[in-house]
Structure 1
Amino acid sequence: MTRWGSAAVAFGELTAPWQLVEPMPLEVVFTRPERLRSGAGRTLQHWAGRLAAKYAVLRLLDEPVTAEHLGAVEVLPLPTPLCSRTAACLHGHPPGVRLIGALDGREAAGTRVRVSVSHTADLAFAVALTAARLAEDHDREAVTAWT
């Protein structure tokens, strides 16, 4: 595993989420909760940001980019201490990463994969890194319903 990974996804000329991942199937690259979250009135830049985060995590983990590996990196908003709502809240929440399927268990003991996502009008950027687990990570895991 490397210390960090980064990625950029261009979406300026695109009009639909499936164009971000073609020829890979959208349903494999994005989990059902991600598709529901991104499809709920969100713009293409939200899809691109989530995809950039997935790429950054795969680079962090030194994993090849495949539809299955992208789909094994689930990126959803986490509740914050100031908001009692779940990940379904529409207010700004930091992105959380959950490794599932083929990548389950890839986090080193006592660490957590974290991502930061940003975007311009036509480009999404993400950085992923591993960091020590924080006390609130346990609280977030208990509160967040990922599926």
Structure 2
Amino acid sequence: MSKKHLGVAAALDFGKTTAKHQVTAILNLGCPDSRQWYLANQQVLLQAVQAGQIQLEIKFWNKPVADLANGNEANKFVDYTEPQAALKFIAAVYAQQADLNAAIDVNKFVTTKFKVDRVVTQEVLTQIDQAITAEGITSLPTIIFDGAHFSGDRLVPITQLLA
């Protein structure tokens, strides 16, 4: 079992617990800033995992903001038990984020477009919310690199953090 930065089992876990760096990415599938940061850093993150440099956790936060309502619903379809399939789902959703955010019936859009079922329980969502509150996270995306929080104006590419 990997080290949990936020004390919640609901995370996509990649890499070894013995990696030099611990990284947690707090994202939302409907958040344009989450999309931009993830897509810009995805390749480097996964290469660093493969190279044993980092252990990566990705968590999806249902932030109670009206503009993120569709993303909050889509987050419930991320299958934390199947990390590789989840990565494909995340990439597919981010590629169609504008359509997701414009969808009237998000559940129908996601199940039809991506052929997935809702898998995240309310218990897991509550655990994530409690952990995010305990960590003092208020914005998306937030990256936790070796215990230091990066968000908003402090958000930087993962290459800068690994340097």
TM-score, scaled to structure 1: 0.26
In terms of fraction of residues, the more helix-rich structure is 2
